[in-house]
Amino acid sequence: MASSIKKNSTVKILTIILFFIFVFASVFSQVKYNDLAAAKKKKHLLQVFLPPATLVDTFSFGFKNFLADIFWIQSIQYLAVEGLMPGSLMGQYFDVVTQLDPKFEYPYLLADIILPKFGSIDDARRLTDRGIGAIPESWQLPYYLAVQYHSLKKDYANALKYIKVAADNPQSPPLVKALLASYTLKSGNLINAKYLFQIIYDTSENEYTKELAKSWIRQIGRIELLEAAVATYQSRFGYYPKTLRDVVALGILKEIPSELGNFNFVVDQQTGALSIK
């Protein structure tokens, strides 16, 4: 019994010693980093050692939240000194912080804002997926990533995937559901897009939102007429037109409605469906 107690005490003491060694190493690293930052040239990225997230997690010894705060502060200091340059360690910092504290929302949001443009959108997606699992009540995480897929990458499939996750969240505002309908339309799914806009029109209490949804329903009706003209073209020639201008040139369609003049339509050569680029 006495030997068992003594053994447990020894383990606790060793754990505490290892923890303080880890903290000392982190503080020492930060001091050295600050010294280097003061003297560095702007054109050269600082060589900072940042341990892998899994390693930090393994040797956290129950102090995960404390270490998450330390690395979060370091990441902000790093961002302030380095800016967003090729080879930046911000993605690794976000990985470490969210590995230690998966419910810490700010790192996910910041990752969604800066990584797609200055790093890797795949890293942002991986972090966002972790955040969605850890903080399912946050509609902002999938929303921010969806907007980045749409605006930066023109990847409407992934934009639609993540905006749907955000829209399915009961706490998301009406704007998110409107974007879901818009992204659905851009993907070429007119039936689902019209259905979503109809729901917005029927349920919204905001008159501006209702009018906007009504306008989109009318626009989709016009797009459906364009698709019918594309189908007529295919039935005559056995293949789909490359553009809507081909349909107009043959007189199948008198003109493209002026209300749709700003849209850049793409004709799917397999199905004839129209999507908006």
Q: Does domain 102-172 have CATH number 2.40.128.120?
A: no
Residue extents of the structural domains in the chain: 12-100, 102-172, 187-277
Q: Which two tokens stand for residue 225?
A: 């007429």
Per-residue pLDDT of the chain (277 residues; tens, 9 = 90+): 545 555 555 655 655 655 555 555 555 555 555 555 555 444 444 445 566 656 666 555 666 677 777 888 888 888 877 767 767 788 888 998 998 889 999 999 999 998 988 768 999 999 999 999 999 999 999 999 999 998 888 888 899 999 999 999 999 988 898 889 888 888 778 888 888 889 888 877 878 888 888 988 998 999 999 999 999 999 999 999 999 999 999 999 888 888 887 788 889 999 998 888 7
Helix spans in the chain (H): 2-39, 53-58, 64-82, 90-100, 105-118, 121-134, 140-151, 156-167, 174-186, 190-203, 207-237, 244-249
Q: Which two tokens stand for residue 254?
A: 């008198």
Q: Which two tokens stand for residue 63?
A: 């102090």
pLDDT computed for residue 20 by the predictor: 57
Inter-residue contact 229 to 253 (CB < 8 Å): yes
The DSSP call for residue 265 is: E
Burial class (CB in 10 A: 0-12, 13-18, 19+), 152: exposed
